[in-house]
Amino acid sequence: MNLADLQEKRMKLMLDASKIATEGTPETRSAFDKMMADVDAIDADIARLERVASFEAEQRTRTVRPAIDGSEERSNQIKQSFRNYLMNGAIEARDLTVAGQGIMIPQLFDPAVISAQKSYGEVYDVVNILKTDHGNPIKMVLDNDTTAGLVGQTVGTDAAEVDPTTSSVTLQVDTFSTGIIKVDNGLITDAGFDIEAWIRDKFAKRFFRGASSLIINGNSGNVASLTYGYSSNAFTSNATGVLKYVDFATAIGTLDPAYQANAVWGMSNATLAAVIALSDSNGRPLFLPDYGNAANGYVGTILGRPVKLITQLPGVATGNTPILFGDFKEAYTFRQQNPGLSILRLNERYAAGYETGFVGFARVGGVVTDAGTHPLVGITIK
């Protein structure tokens, strides 16, 4: 009896038992107990079959080389060698003259592709993300009522009109692509790893890397630059060409307390290297590493606030603004049309060359959302 049959039999027993469970006669109680005993036995059988199925699935995921010899082994070596050449261009140079014939002895191929790693900046993780099902322009209203409060009122006279200061920005989208990746159809079929999953992963990283770069630098279209938007709210560092402890204290003092609760520091890895060397007058380090949050992109704290690595920010040099501090979600809205990144498989376009193309498209936009009280401040190097 297979797993499906056992599960069906168990379900039938439970249904029959539930029908007599409340009758309460000696006969029904005895029948009910017998059914439950049968259910327990079936549960044990199901557990055994599931363990066997799990083991068999595990074995199928492993590359098993059958024990063969002679001409069949030789033929498989040649096929594997050719497949290895398609995958990585490597040719084995040993055993090239056997019985007057040269072959390429196959090298083992690790199904885990080793890829170059580079942080995509992760500013995408801290700004406000607005996802929409369309790409139509969206008007965002900015309201600044921070100067209004209570004023003295004379009884019998009308209260003065004090309207909030409102403005708006229009959030639109531009279209971007990941570029096309073309793959040999034979490689898709024969590769020792999931080519399509690997390509999807590449495109996802291209999307986040590109989105983070657009947020920081903007483009000539509908994606505004975060750093340019707050350049007028940056203050100049205390010393020429370097950062000092006092600069970070000044940043905290400059940012309005309304934005302090969710404020984070943003800087590149090169800037962090300079910050690590800073300490107060008692020799206590300014930067405190937090390895527990490194997986979330927060590598530590400065004066109690988290540090987010944003690789697109410039390094410490005169005229640069290498550090941003504040509530990034209040400061900037990045818009993406759902699903964010659409990946198309181009079957027909490259069919004549026995290839398949893959390309990703995204429609995104971004605006600075500073209503007037500056949720973000920057430190510009003197």
Q: What is the reported pLDDT for 117?
A: 57
Q: Pairing relation of β-strands 174-184 and 355-368?
A: antiparallel
The pair of three-digit structure tokens given for residue 291, joined into one six-digit string: 């390895």
pLDDT at residue 60 is higher than 70 = no
Q: What is the 3-state secondary structure (H, E, C) of 15-84?
A: HHHHHHCCCCCHHHHHHHHHHHHHHHHHHHHHHHHHHHHHHHHHHHHCCCCCCCCHHHHHHHHHHHHHHH
Work out the percent of the chain whose per-residue pLDDT is above 90.
38
pLDDT at residue 353 is higher than 60 = yes
What is the Cα–Cα distance from 369 to 128, expressed in whole angstroms?
Answer: 10
DSSP reduced 3-state for 331: helix
Please name which of 41, 39, 37, 49 lies closest in space to residue 1, comparing C-alpha atoms: 49
| CA distances for 42 relative to 19, 29, 55, angstroms | 19, 20, 20
pLDDT at residue 100 is higher than 70 = no
What are the sequence ranges of the domains in the chain? 3-61, 78-109, 115-147+165-382
Q: What is the reported pLDDT for 121?
A: 61
Highest-confidence range of 37-51, 53-67, 82-96, by mean pLDDT? 37-51
Work out the percent of the chain whose per-residue pLDDT is above 70.
80
Helices 26-61 and 3-20: angle between axes, nearest 10 degrees:
160
pLDDT at residue 2 is higher than 90 = no
Looking up tokens 């699903």 gives: 339
Q: What is the reported pLDDT for 130?
A: 92
Confidence of residue 80 (pLDDT cuts 50, 70, 90): low
CATH class of 115-147+165-382: alpha beta
46 near 3, Cβ under 8 Å?
yes
* Range of lowest pLDDT (120-129, 275-284, 305-314): 120-129
What is the Cα–Cα distance from 376 to 265, expressed in whole angstroms?
Answer: 10
User: Model pTM greater than 0.85?
Assistant: no
pLDDT at residue 64 is higher than 50 = no
Amino acid at site 141: V
DSSP reduced 3-state for 299: strand
| CA distances for 296 relative to 289, 327, 336, angstroms | 13, 17, 22
Number of other residues whose CB lies within 10 A of the CB of residue 281? 6
Q: What is the reported pLDDT for 325?
A: 96
pLDDT at residue 198 is higher than 50 = yes
Q: What is the reported pLDDT for 105?
A: 37
| pLDDT tens-digit readout, 243-290 | 999 999 999 999 999 999 999 999 999 999 999 999 988 889 999 988
Q: What is the reported pLDDT for 318?
A: 95
DSSP reduced 3-state for 349: coil
**Contacts with 232 (C-beta within 8 Å, 6 or more apart), sequence order:** none
Q: What is the reported pLDDT for 148?
A: 86
Q: What average pLDDT does range 357-378 have in this prediction?
A: 92
DSSP reduced 3-state for 122: coil
Number of other residues whose CB lies within 10 A of the CB of residue 305? 20
Please name which of 226, 249, 245, 223 lies closest in space to residue 374, comparing C-alpha atoms: 226
| pLDDT tens-digit readout, 146-171 | 888 888 888 989 888 888 888 889 99
pLDDT at residue 34 is higher than 60 = yes
